[in-house]
Structure 1
Amino acid sequence: MASIMPPIPRFFFLYIEPSLCFFGGAFQPVLNPHSITTLLPAPLAGRHTTDPNPTPLETMLALQSATLMFMIAMVTVIVMVFAKDRAVVRGYVVASAVTDLPHWASFAYVLGWEGLRQWRTWEAPLWMQLLVPVFTLMFKLGYLSGAFGEDRVPEKKGRKEL
């Protein structure tokens, strides 16, 4: 549970990480699916139209992505609040860190070499989608390496010997 973590990672995993997932990944696409489909310029996104409105398929995929981000936010909170085993907490942080890699790989795949070379033309929302996970990955690796301090070992409840 998060209570075994040092104070800074505890705050990050209980509040910041779920908030980033919820507000940036779940709440924003529900309010405005257009915000997700316009991350990439139309030609780089494979859209053969200059119409800025998302297609029904793009809207559905944005909302499905929002559902997954909502689930990730909730799982993060549940693991941090209720998991009592240090291995479960650390395992979750490892799994969460590993998922940052396909996040970037998917952008690289969609953008292709041409889109990656056009990095100077990227808008702020695309930069946020790429750089926020850099920050969170560094934080996760910092926690796992002990940079914020060691986990506390919970006291075992049981009979005390005199």
Structure 2
Amino acid sequence: MPRPALRPEAADARALGLHTIGEAALASAVTAKMIRHYESIGLMPTAGRTFAGYRLYAESDLHRLRFIKRARTLGFSIKEIEQLLSLWDDRQRASSEVKQLALQHARALEQKIREMESMRATLTDLARRCHGDNHPDCPILEDLAGTSRKATN
């Protein structure tokens, strides 16, 4: 997604409604480092530059950054965000494609939740069996080492 070859002075860029990377970071709640990363992997178009070489972002870029931030907050992977952005950019898209992607992600989250609940239950059980005293015996460490003895109660 190349940009036009504008290379305005910083003051002219502001007059055109363009934002520096710092301003874009503040407006989108995405760090400057992540903005540069998103640009390097193609989620963001290559930023325009001032005459001095500073990156410039338009309002549409800020909107795109907020979209990416929200998708990351919902746990979408970079690959999934690429798909979502592609669908978002395609005004002829079928909403069924978006729905399918969202439902797939929801199912993956459900699986992760089940796995995490299992981990929590295991850790809670191990902590319950640990005396937590000055003795060296520790069922938590034994389990991690693969030498755990099952509870006898």
Using the size of structure 1 for normalisation, the TM-score is 0.28
Which structure is richer in relative contact order (CA contacts within 8 A, separation 6 or more)? 1
Using the size of structure 2 for normalisation, the TM-score is 0.30
